[in-house]
Structure 1
Amino acid sequence: MSAHPPVPRAVLDGIPAYVPKPPQPPATGTSYRLFLNENPCPPLPSALAAVSRAAQRTNLYPGIFPDELTDALARRLDVPLSHVVTGPGSVGIYQQIGQAMLSPGDEVVYAWPSFEAYPIVVRMAGAVPVEVPLSDAAHDLEAMAAAITPRTAMVLLCEPNNPTGTAVGAAELKRFLDRVPEHVTVVLDEAYFEFHRGPDAPDGVELHRDRPNLVVLRTFSKAYGLAGLRVGYGVAHPRIAEALRKCAVPCGVSRIAEQAALAALDAEDELLRQVAGITAERERLRAALGARGWTLPPSGTNFLWLPLGEDAAPVAAALERTGLLVRAFPGTGLRITVGAPEANDLLITALEGIRSDR
């Protein structure tokens, strides 16, 4: 054998794996997955029927791009077809962005903690992460603007933020975007767009129309309940959109995923009623925990943030023993997905017991 086997790129040594260690369920009893921000509702019957029909053609490759879905999204969003990009979840599009828009040594500004893919995408491209601490669990847009230098190539902004669920609002976001130099790409992640509605909720697609440097990402994983099929989409002006398509994995969105997404779009009114129910559960859960002495920031997502500092890991472990699997950010807090009512009721009871023991 060779004494000098192939060696992976050195930059990978400093990149964390994107897959966080999932909590382990208890040995017996029911467990609830409250750590991946999944939709607790099963897919709609129309989506399942579309999956079944599409599965009968899995001996054939899907299109290089999901053209039928791209066309439907362009019409739904009222944007030119050339503005729409797709990928296997928004995470897949992030990888396309890193390949297409970043070069070694570029600086990328983003808040922290925020979406865990950010440092991976940035370092994979050989770029330099510039992490700006949150302020009261929310983006500090003033500090992020101040962090932009002549070396800045990109700003990554999750609105509302993952893992804290906080939102900055439309007016503040517009002021920030107006301060970003035109040559700096801004990626606005709206994975939780459907959960954050109201007069001050931004609409990235509308914002992108007169901002050629703005890329907007959305997904079918959360509100549409298709996380297991991996289909996301983005909106960008043609020059960037074409570059992202060049970096996409051919046939990266399966025919099954495309047809399920189309069915979900057709049933959007029904799905948005589900979203309203999840949002109501979120507010019920937040109010119940607040009444029991826990402090949680407002959320514009399908999860809540419990800022616990050094207590995050032990509280997560205690919840796991009751069958509640939450996402711990050691030294910072817990991200807790809004689950079905029975899971949320169990969470209220478990946290009440934990608080009384502290």
Structure 2
Amino acid sequence: MYSSILFIDDDYNILNSFKRSLSPEYRVHVADTPEEGLRLFEEKGPFSVLVSDMRMPGMNGVEVLSKAREIDADTSRVLLTGYADQQAAIDAVNKGRIFKFLTKPCPLQTLVPVLEEGIYNYKLNVSNRFVGERTQQGLVGMLSQVLAMVNPAAQRKAHRLKNFARHMARTARPQQRMIVEMAAVLSQLGCLNLSQETMRLYDGGGIVGHEDNIRIREQFDVAARLLMHLPRFEVIIEVLGLLHKEPHQFPRYDDLEMQETIPLCTRILQTALGIDSLLASGKSPDAALAALKADQPFYDPALVDRLVDFTFALHNEVLMYVRATELTSRMVLAEDIRDDDGTLLATKGQPLANPLLAYLHKVHRRIGLPEPIGVFLPLREYDL
């Protein structure tokens, strides 16, 4: 995997030379057109290094490497140039689009060290991204658990938003799906300072007091501020900051990947918030979808259409009653759980995430819980 290299050049003699000379040490693929090269890059990847000629019919090397970066940003991208193209190559390097540029003709003693460095750089990119994503996911999980303990209703809303967003983003790139799902969960952090009663009224479309209404309007800004000092959350913060804005108010980004990702993730999450609010107010799924489609340009009709086949009803869940020792993380509470003194321990509709499950088991061992307990058991396992 780490020694896979793709060369794109319209001179087949050069491609044959590279393949003949390098194949004993590397897994070499070649393409003699930009279009074929990008197809191979997407279908046969991942590639550790991509080497592209600058001057080719239809698409130059900088454009090829830029498109490749959108497909897989981890790959080390190298540009082969003639002397006349050196300024374009320098500009591409300075803008962060490519890893290295080499002048033609390029002897093997010059090329091979660059390939080795590119392979090392690829390994480093993959490792850093893996560690970063695991760190992000761990932080999101921890914050979701905090939300569940402090404001279970807000955590339930976050879970619903995540399911809506995941469904709409199913055709997006993996990185975009991860961003929008994390943003959906973290969007409710601003509700930490809302009481359970206020959250119930807000979530159900009821009337809340003036002070609480201000907090609700500022919730996404509060969530963004809470995340500001965490590493690697810059894109999510940007998405949260745009949720109250219409598409024409979105800024433009110099980075092409961000220009595609941030507006898409924002609009998906806006649609998730819209459908959740309408359903909570008592509208049927059909009426809620029709209302969203009528509210243009704030909601994208194409995204709303992706929710048509979403399973809104609970017909895929069964209500059953279990003992406290039989509670599992696959269940959702169908009723409030209180101790013998009437103290609320967990609320109806709350997913039994592991921290809550461990807490309830601990309480049951110490003082016991009223049994049986009503729960919804999904017929298919949800990602709770």
TM-score tier, shorter chain, comes to under 0.3
Higher relative contact order (CA 8 A, sep 6+): 1
Whose helix fraction is larger, Structure 1's or Structure 2's? 2
TM-score, scaled to structure 2: 0.25
TM-score, scaled to structure 1: 0.26
Whose strand fraction is larger, Structure 1's or Structure 2's? 1
| Structure (1 or 2) with the larger CA radius of gyration | 2
